[in-house]
Amino acid sequence: MYSLVSASLLGCDLADLSSEIKSIEQAGADWLHCDVMDGAFVNNISFGTPVLKCIKKAASVPLDTHLMINDPIRYIDDYAQLGSDNITFHVEAAGDPQSVIDRIHSHGISAGISLKPATPVSAVKPFLESVDLVLVMTVDPGFGGQKFMPDTLEKISEIRYLLDSMGKKDVRIEVDGGINGTTVKYCREAGADVMVSGSYIFGAQDRTAAVKSLKV
């Protein structure tokens, strides 16, 4: 599988959201990454359903919705009905992760499970049979522009090994945090194939070149 680029809208100018979406789509982004934060699971608040509705109207590429919220099953129906093409939730935030996966799949969309840098792979291992994507956070979630954490590369490699040994080669591994033209190479070598990037591509003078640099 070739690398996909999921442009994190946390890095864009939200006051000019529609133009930013068009710009990043023209630059070659494959997905739009929408970080939903509740101020409880992570120490930040971003945007919720009203903004997602606006994003969906402006977007022509799939919406990659990342729920950084407690008890995510409460909101799966809402974000699915808003037009999310993939919904990823955190294993640390869900009392019954399998029920969340099943709820996402009940809407006919892709289900992803995510883990923080400090969370061991063993936490998501029981769910690798049923998810479509695993999101490895390569920074502590909550804020954009953080520095990539190299020790997360071992976690990516371990998940890729487990997926391959299970014959789940179609399950994608997504990475999020400090992804740029340098760190993307390490992530790709470790087995990741979806690269989330915000400030690196939205802050670039040449966004097309920035996106291209992530499609290694």
Give the tens place of pLDDT for each residue, 133-188: 999 999 876 555 557 889 999 999 999 999 999 999 899 999 998 999 999 999 99
For residue 1, name the pLDDT band (cuts at 50, 70, 90): low
**Tens of pLDDT, residues 10-62:** 888 888 999 999 999 999 999 999 999 887 677 677 777 888 888 999 999 99
For residues 147 and 110, the model is more confident at: 110
For residue 214, name the pLDDT band (cuts at 50, 70, 90): very high
Residue 180 near residue 147, CB atoms below 8 Å: no
The residues annotated with a catalytic role in the active site are 35, 176
Residue 196 near residue 148, CB atoms below 8 Å: no
SS3 content of the chain, % helix, strand, coil (to 5): 40, 20, 40
Mark residue 37 as left, alpha or beta (left: phi above 0; alpha: psi -120 to 50; beta: remaining): beta
CATH number for the domain including 125?
3.20.20.70
pLDDT at 122: 97
Domain count, the chain: 1
Domain span including residue 98: 4-214
Q: Average pLDDT for residues 95-120, to the nearest whole number?
A: 97
**Selection from 205, 201, 202, 203 nearest residue 213 by Cα:** 201
**Tens of pLDDT, residues 120-148:** 999 999 999 999 999 999 987 655 555 78
The token pair at 167 is 């014959």
Task: State pTM to two decimals.
Answer: 0.94
